[in-house]
Structure 1
Amino acid sequence: MDEKIKDQEVLLVKDQKDENLKAVAGTDEKGGLKTVPPTAEHEQSFLKFDKHGNALENFLSNFMRQFKHPTPLNFFKVPFESAVASARVLSEMLKAPDVPSNKEMLDSARVNPSDYAGEQKQPFQGIDPDKVKWEQFEQMGVSRESLEKGKHLDDLLQYRKTPLIPIAIKIGEVSLYTDARLSLKASGDGTFIPVVHAIRKEPQLEREFFGHTFTDEDKKALRETGNLGRTVELVRCQTKVHNFTFN
Structure 2
Amino acid sequence: MKKEHNNELHAIEKRRDTLLVLHHTSNTIGMVEGVAQNGELKDSSFKEVSSDQLVHLVAEDDSFAEMFSEFYHQLKDPSDFSFFKVTEYEVQQTAIDLQQYLDQASEEEKELLKEYEISIDAVEVHRDLLDGNEFTDYRVEDRYLYKPEQVDWKMMEKIGLSMDKLSEMGALEPMLKGYKTPMLVPVEFKTGSVMTQMEARLSLRVNNAGNLEVRFYPVRKDPDFTKTFLGHVFSWEDQRNLMESGNMGRVVDLVYPITGEKIPSLISRDRLTNDLIAVRINEMRIPLFIKGVTLNKEQKKVLKEGRALFIEDMLSNKGTLFNAAVQYNADKRYVEFLFKKNIKSFRVGDLRSSVKAEVPGMFRGKKLKAWQVEKLKAGETAYVDGLVIRMGRSIRGI
Interval containing the TM-score (normalised by the shorter chain) = 0.3 to 0.5
- Structure with the bigger RCO (C-alpha within 8 Å, sep 6+) is 1
TM-score with structure 1 setting the length: 0.41
Q: Which has the larger radius of gyration?
A: 2
